[in-house]
Structures are given as C-alpha cells and as structure tokens.
Amino acid sequence: MNVKIANNGQEALEEWLASDQGYYTVAIFDHHMPIMDGLAATRKLRELEAERPNKSGGEPLSRIPIIGLSADIQSSTKELCIKAGMDEYLTKPLLTKGLALLIQRYCCKDQTDNGEE
C-alpha cells in the first residue's frame, strides 16, 4: 500500500490531478482542513471525476471512495459530508481498527467482488 499525505484539500486535488488515472484506491479527507476543507475538496473531486475521461474510451473515471474524518460527532456533520459526496464518515478519536476495516473494504473490493451487489 502506498500512502500520500496532503496538508490540505487543495494539495490533495493537485496530487490526484497529477497522478495516473486509477492510481488512488481510496481518499481520506478531514472535514476541517486548511485552505480547502474536506467538503469542498470532495465536491471538487466528484466534479473532476465526471469530467476526466479514462484512457480506454473516454468514459468518466470510476468513483474513488472518500472517507471523511471529523471530531464533530453531530449527525448534521455526517449528513453534510455524505451530501458532499463522501462515502463513509468516521469521528475522532479514531478507532484504528475501524479505519483499517474501511480501507481494506475499498482496497480489496476488486479482489473480492464477484460482480454481485
């Protein structure tokens, strides 16, 4: 597993744009990042996914799973994150096992997915 760390949402988007298509398997965004917060970064990433064609035929890229993190335990914050386009939401302090299971779910999806949903 390769990990890239960005200091803010803008850096995360720049890293994603500079990467080969499909390089990232999962993104983890904090709700409260400087310069561009996790909500804005998620919304922008979702826009870019729809605009950025893949190499094989011009179709939009598949959706990268985004896990949101926040110290805010209010349900309204979770709703904001999900509405912005995040797939999962975890609160801090973070249980390492919970994060590891989510990452494993998304990183191993292609290996375990038999095409059924």
Quickly count: other Cβ atoms within 10 Å of residue 70's Cβ. 19
Closest Cα to residue 17, out of 44, 39, 38?
Answer: 44
Tell me what pLDDT residue 20 has: 81
Q: How confident is the model at residue 106 (pLDDT cuts 50, 70, 90)?
A: confident
Higher pLDDT, 56 or 93: 93
Tell me what pLDDT residue 2 has: 75
**What percent of the chain stands above pLDDT 70?**
85
pLDDT digits (tens, 9 = 90+) for 16-59: 988 887 788 899 999 999 999 999 999 999 998 888 766 556 66
SS3 string, 21-90, reads CCCCCCEEEECCCCCCCHHHHHHHHHHHHHHCECCCCCCECCCCCEEEEECCCCHHHHHHHHHHCCCEEE
Domain at 9-106, CATH from 3.30.470.20, 3.40.50.2300, 3.30.43.10, 1.10.3470.10: 3.40.50.2300
How many angstroms separate the CA atoms of 33 and 27, rounded? Answer: 14
Q: How confident is the model at residue 63 (pLDDT cuts 50, 70, 90)?
A: confident
